[in-house]
Amino acid sequence: MKEAYILTTFEALGLSNTLLRSVAALGFEAPTPIQRDAIPHVLAGRDLMGLAQTGTGKTAAFGLPLVQHLMAEKHLPEARAVRALVLAPTRELVNQIADNLRAYVKRTDLRVATVVGGASINNQVRALSRGTDVLVATPGRLLDLVERRAVRLDTARFLVLDEADQMLDLGFIHALRKIATLVGSPRQTLLFSATMPKQMEELSRAYLNDPVRVEVSPPGKAADLVRQSVHFVEQSAKPDLLKRLLAEDRDALSLVFSRTKHGAERLMKQLCAAGINAGSIHGNKSQGQRERAIAAFRKGEIRVLVATDVAARGIDIPGVSHVYNFDLPEVPESYVHRIGRTARAGAGGDAVAFCTAEDVGLLRAVEKLTGVPVAVASGEVPPEQRGSRPASRRGRPNGQPRAAGAATGKPNGQRRQPEHASHGHGNGPRHGAPQKPGAAAAAKRRRHRPARDHAMA
């Protein structure tokens, strides 16, 4: 009986009464698995590697015990100093984490500040001048402020890396290494990731000291409650297929992924012309435009949001019931993050992939990573690709899991560059992702370019 109590209540995790009141005010009834398994270790001062799918409550898993540690120390930050640093890959995720942390510290004197690209750096300098208890930042803009001597990291005794695999995808590895040398020591370090690529092992060795590993689902595993399906379709037929599927459930909140910025904008305009209330977010949108689109989507004022991976990374919008991979991602790990936008907080969801003949290899890479065969909803595997996809995966009964993912197709197998590559940044294709002729040279060029502007993507 005691074990059941420990597993199902926040009171038994060791949180203070102040935080328990905040938890109750937020409507949290019971800890999620990642919160249940991580919070006691973080409160005990251990370094931690948390492996969990998106939408599992990771922010509270590190945020609540982090706030408790800062409350216990009972001292104010010095000028330009930071007591705890949280790093995240995009400004949308930074703002989301900061909003959650502000809710946790509402009954305390702790201050939470944010640092992201695309916002006034002078305003950020002024905000940091008196010091802050928790700084949530993108790596690129943070290093800009360090170079300006606007912020001190040597006073930070807590470091959190959220969505660490996404930061690797965006080419932030060198920025992370530099920041690691600037953060105070000794420190407690927490690293959270949805997948576990090989480069993550290097990152964990550099950052973590004898860490506890908490894993609530196998790395790379697709969200358990997501029904996955794939439509084999010609490139030219994809817009009409998407319109038809969206029309079947006009009240659903649907997130549609396009590989490129221009593709996302073009698709959004096609949907609007068809009478579908849609918006878009991508790197060519200003921060204000993106924030307004996300807010309208969150409120249900628009029902379809077309996005690129960089722009949508880390977005947590309850109620998204469908994720459409209009273009399959070049990097299979991105698939896991995409479909994690649905089936949040225990709800179910649908992830639907569009796959052209040339993209069967991308679909196979996704299935290999997730270990989940994607059910065929319509169309057939192209004849030239039939040997690459087991026939047993076809014709699954209704109600079996369906899939997500899709792709753009260009003549002669050429592909348009993903959004972050078009910014001239990033590490190129991850290990295991299919590469076209000449991709190795392009990836090498991208590896030698700075990643800083990803904070503004």
**CA 147 – CA 149 distance, rounded (Å):** 5
Kind and range of the H or E run holding 322: strand 320-325
Distance CA 46, CA 230 (A): 42
So what's the pLDDT on residue 101? 96
pLDDT at residue 445, as a whole number: 40
Q: What is the mean pLDDT of the chain?
A: 81
CATH of 226-422, one of 3.40.50.2020, 3.40.50.800, 3.30.70.260, 3.40.50.300: 3.40.50.300
By DSSP bridging, strand 349-355 and strand 226-232 are parallel
Residue range 315-335: mean pLDDT, rounded: 88
Amino acid identity, position 200: M
Q: What percentage of the chain has pLDDT greater than the value 70?
A: 78
Mean pLDDT of 133-137: 98
Report the pLDDT averaged over residues 294-312. Answer: 88
Instruction: Give the pLDDT mean for 17-44.
Output: 92
CB atoms within 10 A of CB 71: 17
Does residue 424 register a pLDDT over 50?
Answer: no
For the chain, domain boundaries: 2-215, 226-422
Residue 393 has a pLDDT of 37
CA distances from 65 to 16, 42, 61 (A): 9, 6, 7
Q: How is domain 2-215 classified at the CATH fold level?
A: Rossmann fold (3.40.50)
- The CA distances from residue 373 to 48, 363, 380, in Å, are 31, 10, 15
pLDDT given for residue 383 in this prediction: 63
Of 46-60, 143-157, 180-194, the least confident: 46-60
Q: What are the tens digits of pLDDT across the range 89-129?
A: 888 889 989 999 999 999 899 999 999 988 899 999 999 99
Between residues 214 and 437, the one the model is more confident about: 214
Q: Which amino acid appears at position 141 of this protein?
A: R
Distances (CA, A) of 181 to 26, 85, 156, 178, 424: 36, 13, 12, 5, 26
Between 394 and 158, the more confident residue is 158
